[in-house]
Structure 1
Amino acid sequence: MMSNSALYDRDILRLAASLYRWPLDDAFERIVEKRSPVCGSTIRLGFDRDGAVRISRIGLDVQACALGQASAAILAGNALGLSQEEAELRAQHCRDLLEGNECDVTELWPDMILLARAAPYPARHGAIMLPYEALSVAFADTPTEAENA
């Protein structure tokens, strides 16, 4: 097993510290809250969509370990323009990294590979996947453009 200092290195801490770039406010069209039953991490995630399809703005309030915060920052930094299907694909990429499944690294977002170091720590997987799960809930609970017509 790697030490905590290797798990929570400068790159992870840099990402965790960048969450201020995506503040959460009550003006988002959709806000969800999700909690990890494994570690107790929580996230509040809000987004707006353009044409009820793609994310046009995102905000987060994350109470999690540095790995969970880093994962949220990676998601937020790449969320603009995402559709529900694309978000689900990226969530699967992250899950594959954590489970040690084969993954095409060219399909990963920048910095996502940093999360692979947590693969031997299943207790951290919940915090890392939490932003993706919250986004999935937010998409599922938001009407599509066709449903609004």
Structure 2
Amino acid sequence: MSGETDLIKLYSARILELAADIPRHGRLESPDATVKRRSPLCGSTVTVDIKVSDGRVSGYAADVKACALGQAAASIVGANIIGCTQDQVIAARDALKSMLKQDGPVPDAPFDGLEVLLPARDYKNRHESILLTLNASVEAMAEISAASSCA
């Protein structure tokens, strides 16, 4: 019975609300970079489209096919990524990974809403799905950065 109670805590009303309303869900018409990431463990996938202007995210969309936890993470990222620099997105990804895997602190603003995923620390099989959107976003921004430095 305690396992069932733990799952109920994990899938809180707030996580389910976030999962049901992902900002910027879909695809951009002409992104600067597109990255698709898949979690081999659970099969969750995220395709991220990003545009960057003056070193900041100016356009963003994500096609998310993930569990409620992955969708909740995507919702928080989608609501907060516009205007962020590559360093901020990397810092958010690294902090989320540390929060989940090493009991690290919650990511800094504007991604501090990822705190809602703290109960997932004990569910290692969900970590990759939760990290998908930020991993794909970091990869997309790295592609844009590499392309602009070669131009």
With normalisation by structure 1, the TM-score equals 0.88
Alpha-carbon RMSD = 1.9
Structure-to-structure mapping, 1:32-111, within 5 angstroms: 32-51=35-54, 53-103=55-105, 105=106, 107-108=108-109, 109-111=111-113
Instruction: Decide whether aligned partners of structure 1 residues 26 and 123 sit closer, same or farther in structure 2, where only a CA change above 3 A counts.
Output: same
Determine the C-alpha separation between the residues in 2 that align with 1:65 and 1:145: 34
Determine the C-alpha separation between the residues in 1 that align with 2:121 and 2:134: 17
Q: Secondary structure at the match of 1:141?
A: helix
Higher mean C-alpha deviation, range 105-114 or range 84-93: 105-114
| Per-residue deviation, residues 2-58 of structure 1 (Å, max 9, x unmatched) | 53221111100111111154331332221111101221110000011113x110111
Letter in 1 for 2:96: C
Structure 2, unaligned stretches of length 5 or more? none
Structure 1, unaligned stretches of length 5 or more? none
The match for 2:125 is 123
The match for 1:23 is 26
